[in-house]
């Protein structure tokens, strides 16, 4: 018996460079960047936030009040993904007990939990609003989305730092392989908030120049972003049976931990290289089969250097010819949402047979084939990377169907 092929059949996305698959892809390939003055923290602060976010545009007016920003972003992505693939449940349907959600996140409910505690510490315990308590749990966006969209199957929240989104897609694919679900929404969400922003700023890892320049000369840190991206994943057999054309195959996943530090990249990148090799092996491919690399590089010098080392180790001399794209130049470091956003970039690259532009690219700090223009390739597979400063490394191989 061969393991069933797991494919994606729909996409929902909301990010600083656009809402919906078309807008996201068009802006990505036009080389647009969503980095600029913050609406949340004042114009001095540079972020890659979802500006002028009006969830009602997609979700209607009811039931939004109780959702925090992360839940709103996730529900918007879910609404788009479900509508795109014809799986949205009618108003009074019970919902498919085999249809669920797997959602990656890095900081989870940090804003809701901090606000809840702040209220207790300033207003007094007696005046804390109990309605805000459910939002303090890390899995609250996933729970809220399940209620809103009648997702009655598995509802897992997955946290693996910056690699969360890729881990979530892998976790969903495993559930489908085991026959534990009919279809799943899989991806990630992260809201930008004061707590994570202040935390990163204090740690000195944000770009002082306010520019996201992965792998580039003068890179001086990351720009924080946010958003949500979800894929509808199912077995190829089921997709075809219901008359849906698969967009791409989720072919192989790899993960390795550096076991080194919670806030420093492992310069030699052995964990990152191991993750890439495992993903290739799981997909039954070799480095020569890969058409382009969607890098996780965010403009943090240590992270960029580590990824470069790891790429060199896996691809050897061929690296000089291999198109590489660093989309975080466009949408910043979207933390728990990054993996799913990058996977979407990889899927688009496969379809267009062009690696996405690296927005604003002027010249590399490392000998990698990056470009401000889309770069053509001819291949049936791409590699997507997410490497975190806490040692969590994950890679995903996508194949065309």
Partner 1 sequence: MKRVVITGAGLITPVGAGREEFWRSLVAGQSGIAPVRSFDTSDYPVHIGAEVKAFDPAHWVRNRDPESMGRGSQLAIAAARMALDDAGLSLSAFAPRRVGISMGTTSGEPGFVEKYNDIRKAEGLDALPADLGAKYPCNVIPSNVAIELGLQGPCLMIPTACAAGNYAIGYGFDLIRTGRADLMLAGGADPFSRITYTGFARLGAIAPEKCQPFDRNRKGMVPGEGAAVLVLEPLEAALARGARIYAEVLGYGVSCDSHHMTAAHPQGDGAIRAMDMALRESGRSPDEVDYISAHGTGTPTNDRVETIAVKTLFGRRAPQVPMSSIKSMLGHTMGAASAIEAVACALALHTGVIPPTINFTEPDPDADLDYVPNTARQTNPRLVLNNAYAFGGNNASLCLARFEEAA
Partner 2 sequence: MEAITTDEIRGEIKRLIAEVTERTPEEIEDTASFQDDLGVDSLMAMEVMVAVDKKYKINIPEDEFSQIRNVNDTVEVVQRHLEAAGTAVRA
Residues that bind partner 2 (CB under 8 A): 61-65, 123, 126-131, 134
Counting contacts by CB under 8 A, is residue 40 touching partner 1?
A: no
Residue 61 contact, options partner 2, partner 1, none, Cβ 5-8 Å cut-off depending on partner type: partner 2
Q: Which partner in partner 2, partner 1, none is near 155 (CB below 5 to 8 A by kind)?
A: partner 1
Q: Which residue of 37, 199, 287, 360 would you call a contact of partner 1, by CB under 8 A?
A: 199
CA–CA distance, 184 with 165 (Å, rounded to integer): 14
Among 55, 108, 299, 357, binds partner 1 (CB under 8 A): 108
152 binds, among partner 1, partner 2, none (CB under 5 to 8 A by kind): partner 1
Contact, 16 vs 227, CB < 8 A? yes
Closest contact distance (angstroms) between CB of 14 and partner 1 is: 21
* Shortest distance in whole angstroms from residue 135 CB to partner 2: 11
For residue 80, how many C-alpha atoms fall within 13 Å in the half-sphere facing its CB?
A: 26
Q: Give which of 190, 203, 191 is closest to 162, Cα–Cα.
A: 190
100 burial via Cβ count (<10 Å: 0-12, 13-18, 19+): buried
- Span near partner 1 by CB under 8 A; candidates 13-21, 42-50, 51-59, 155-163: 155-163
Q: What mask of x and - would describe binding to partner 1 in positions 293 to 332, judged by CB under 8 A?
A: ----------------------------------------
| CA triple 347-151-58, angle to 5 deg | 65
Task: Please give the Cα distance from 130 to 110 (Å, whole number).
Answer: 17
| Residue 219 interface partner, choices partner 2, partner 1, none, CB cut-off 5-8 Å depending on type | none
143 lies in the site for partner 1, by CB under 8 A: yes
Q: Which does 199 bind (CB under 5 to 8 A by kind): partner 2, partner 1, none?
A: partner 1
Could you give the count of Cα atoms lying within 13 Å of 8 in the half-sphere of its Cβ?
31
With contact defined as beta carbons under 8 Å apart, do 368 and 308 qualify?
A: yes
Cα distances (angstroms) measured from residue 203 to each of 193, 198, 206, 257: 16, 8, 8, 22
Q: Which is nearer to partner 1, 57 or 129 (CB)?
A: 129
């Amino acid at each position: 018996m061969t393991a069933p092929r797991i494919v994606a059949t729909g996409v929902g996305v909301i990010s600083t460079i656009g809402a919906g698959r078309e807008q996201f892809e068009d802006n990505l390939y036009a080389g647009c960047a969503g980095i600029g003055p913050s609406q949340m923290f004042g114009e001095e602060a540079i972020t890659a936030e979802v500006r002028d976010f009006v969830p009602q545009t997609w979700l209607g007016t009811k039931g939004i009040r109780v959702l925090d920003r992360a839940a709103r972003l996730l529900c918007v992505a879910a609404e788009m993904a479900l509508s795109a693939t014809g799986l949205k449940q009618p108003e009074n349907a019970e919902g498919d007990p085999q249809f669920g959600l797997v959602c990656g996140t890095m900081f989870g409910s940090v804003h809701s939990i901090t606000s809840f505690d702040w209220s207790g510490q300033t207003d007094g315990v007696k005046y804390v609003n109990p309605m805000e308590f459910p939002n303090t749990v890390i899995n609250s966006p996933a729970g809220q989305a399940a209620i809103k969209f009648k997702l009655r199957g598995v509802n897992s929240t997955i946290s693996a730092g910056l690699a969360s989104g890729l881990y979530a897609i892998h976790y969903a694919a495993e559930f489908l392989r085991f026959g534990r679900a009919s279809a799943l929404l899989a991806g990630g969400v992260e809201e930008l908030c004061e707590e994570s922003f202040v935390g990163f700023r204090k740690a000195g890892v944000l770009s002082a120049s306010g520019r996201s320049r992965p792998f580039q000369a003068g890179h001086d840190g990351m720009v924080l972003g946010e958003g949500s991206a979800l894929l509808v994943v199912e077995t190829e057999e089921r997709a075809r049976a219901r008359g849906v054309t698969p967009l791409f195959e989720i072919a192989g996943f790899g993960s390795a931990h550096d076991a080194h530090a919670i806030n420093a990249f492992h310069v030699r990148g052995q964990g990152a290289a191991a993750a890439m090799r495992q993903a290739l092996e799981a997909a039954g491919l070799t480095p020569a089969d890969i058409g382009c690399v969607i890098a996780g590089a965010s403009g943090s010098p240590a992270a960029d250097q580590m990824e470069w080392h790891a790429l060199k180790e896996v691809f050897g001399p061929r690296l000089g010819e291999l198109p590489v794209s660093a989309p975080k130049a466009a949408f910043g470091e979207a933390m728990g949402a990054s993996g799913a956003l990058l996977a979407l970039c990889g899927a688009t690259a496969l379809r267009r047979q062009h690696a996405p532009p690296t927005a604003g690219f002027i010249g590399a700090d490392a000998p990698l084939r990056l470009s401000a223009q889309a770069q053509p390739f001819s291949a049936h597979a791409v590699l997507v990377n997410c490497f975190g400063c806490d040692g969590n490394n994950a890679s995903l191989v996508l194949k065309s169907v």
